[in-house]
Amino acid sequence: MAYYYQEPSRTFNEYLLVPNYSSPECIPANTSLRTPAVRYRHGEEPPLSMNIPLVSAVMQAVSDDRMAIALAKEGGISFIYASQSVEQQAAMVKRVKDYKAGFVTSESNLRPDQTLADILALKIKTGHSTVAITDDGTQNGRLIGIVTGRDYRVSRMETNTRVDVFMTPIDKIIYATEGISLKEANNIIWDNKLNTLPILSTDGRLVAFVFRKDYTTNKENLLELTDASKRYVAGAGINTRDYEMRVPALVNAGADILCIDSSEGFTEWQRMTLRHIRSAYGDSVKVGAGNVVDREGFLFLAEAGADFVKVGIGGGSICITRETKGIGRGQATAVIEVAKTRDEYFRETGIYVPICSDGGIVHDYHITLALAMGADFCMLGRYFARFDESPSNRVMVGGSYMKEYWGEGSLRARNWQRYDIGGEEDLSFEEGVDSYVPYAGSLHDNLPVTLHKIRSTMCNCGALTLAEFQQKARLTPVSALSIIEGSAHDVYLKDNTGLPTK
């Protein structure tokens, strides 16, 4: 007969943290949210860590190159969605890696005989305001001049005006020669009040640009997550169908970490995918797998070579897997069991495999609970979908601004490679919905508030690091009445006019 679990599976709503003693040093400013992103051996440093324990979901409505750049600036990782062509996804990864590299390869280049119309079209395509004018229109051609927004006025110029008429010519440009250090280049920028410094070879060919804004951004975003070349860290999703083509393209584009995007990870398909990647790349390519909800699922993926394991089935706000298939588990119970198994595996093998809590997050404090229960980081969809940087449209609904948000298992995403084992192009049924979430503005204006809540709660529990937090955290189940008691109750709340409302 079927196996029956004796205890019900629980959600984050059913737990609260109990405070511990806090020392005078235990203040939010002293806390660290740094966390491992991939597996490592006891006594060694993780090959890749994050400065905050948050990643954005592998979803069309959440994670593209704009989100990846914005989240890397704050210290996290975005996994660019896989439900698109290999070429499109690789191009997104490359845009992230090229966005800020100290020495930036020029992606916007034209010939001097082209026109203002070409400048405007290129700006729309790339979003770049600085265009290199080279003799052959390539990124490594001989530099003839530069065009920035200060060099033309659309309202006062004909669009057929040649570029060499209004560009800033090379004899009026301050530049540096290949071999200069990044520090020296930045000194030239500051000493000469420049926004851009071209780096040229000895024969005058364009090698790279150094931008003033990159230095400024680095100083403003102290937690930004970069690789050894000072480029933003970028993640990307893959599936278990076209990985033989997709993985090489993403690796060549510069992806730092991959994640198998699937509604259920305890499958031979994922083991085959991991086996192929290990055979082709060894341990140099980092790839997470999932999703699982129990001990057996974690051990299966850990032994298969996953660099991290995602935990959670059916808990996402747009996910209807439990409703359509009756499959899943309460997110809190799943995280608690998998975290316990992760720790046992570490003690037995000396290999630590981080776990990512994916789904079930409604309130900010749910993130904190997931971390306290043992998650190394959390994957969020709805949370990030609300921001300017997500790929979806901002629309007016009922007098309020909303952002569109849809699941990867919805007809809109049409991601049959993720859900339909039969491989049909049409979904047999949906496991996600098409919806709206309240628009919240920019990521940079919202994420620090969430992080401050996490840090503050850690201090309430007497912890300054996430590892210490997990050791010291004390959690208590709560009753339905406790949940009601924990919210505003038995009062009349004021509305925006100051008048009382029920």
The CA distance from 82 to 408, in Å, is 10
The CA distance from 141 to 204, in Å, is 8
Q: Which amino acid is at 148?
A: T
The helix/strand/coil state of 184 is helix
Residue 155: how many other CB atoms lie within 10 Å: 5
- Residue from 319, 356, 378, 459 carrying the catalytic annotation: 319
The helix/strand/coil state of 429 is coil
Q: Where are the alpha helices (DSSP H) in 23-115?
A: 65-74, 86-99
Residues whose CB falls within 8 Å of the CB of residue 444, separated by 6 or more in sequence, listed in order: 70, 73, 74
Closest CA to 220 of 75, 418, 387, 46: 75
Q: Is position 356 annotated as part of the catalytic site? A: no
* Contact yes or no for 385/81 (Cβ under 8 A): no
The helix/strand/coil state of 16 is strand
* Contact yes or no for 359/314 (Cβ under 8 A): yes
Q: Which amino acid is at 187?
A: N
Q: Is position 418 annotated as part of the catalytic site? A: yes
- Residue from 95, 386, 418, 455 carrying the catalytic annotation: 418
Tokens of 46: 């993780």
- Tell me which residues are annotated as active site: 319, 418
